[in-house]
Amino acid sequence: MLWSAPPLACLLRLIDEDASMSVMRRWLGRDVMPLKGITGMSTRIVPLYLVLSALLTVLAWVAPAHAADVAEESVILVAKREMSGPLYGSTVLIAKHLGNDYHLGFIINRPTSIRLAELFPEHGPSQKVPDPIYLGGPFNTEMIFTLVKRRDSPGGHSVQVTQDLFLAVDAETVDHIIEVESDHARFFVGLVAWQRGELGDEVKRGLWYVLKPEADLVLRKSSESLWEELVTKCERLSKGI
């Protein structure tokens, strides 16, 4: 690596400054609205690819967080019924602990009406991916990210999310997944970023149920009833049923 990693707080500020709520709203209208204006595959990844690469360097020396539940490497978050709003109401997320109580994550039940074929009409393998792109969150919505189920890293600057789930962030790796293993992958625009301690605070405030992550759950083909299924399960568990 030819450059040194900036402090983690600076990296997360970079993500936040790059966020565009107006772009997000073009993906997520009443339910979902298509985004216009993404014209080439080379525009998808670069800024956050640098950020996540630096995060991997930071993880080598940051102290682990000690917040209950969300201090695990990754968790599934299920929005409680009381949480409202067009973006996070009735959502299910996969969240990864980055160290020192920072987290990144993706909403896994917000499919858009757009497919890769529409964004990249010149790219043959994209035409063969039938699944929609998902809205992962409000930050970096001009980029495509991939969660892929496999036992080892797909390469590049990929980040391990669970034992058998990896996040691909650089263009070459995402392209390779599109070409050869899209049947066990999900493609997202945008992500969710929590500053230090924010997710733990949200859990303490009672906004989320927290579950252990499962790759098959994250990549379930139909997410239409996923939230209702999980929130009902969590409510029963909380009542000891």
78 C-beta neighbours (distance < 10 Å), count: 24
Burial of 71 (0-12, 13-18, 19+ CB in 10 A): middle
Per-residue pLDDT of 198-240, as tens digits, reads 999 999 999 999 999 999 999 999 999 999 999 999 999 988 8
Q: How many residues does the chain have?
A: 241
CB 26 within 8 A of CB 33: yes
Looking at residue 201, its pLDDT comes to 94
Q: What pTM was estimated for this model as a whole?
A: 0.76
| pLDDT, tens only, 101-136 | 899 999 999 999 999 999 999 999 999 999 999 999
Give the count of beta carbons closer than 10 Å to the beta carbon of residue 240: 5
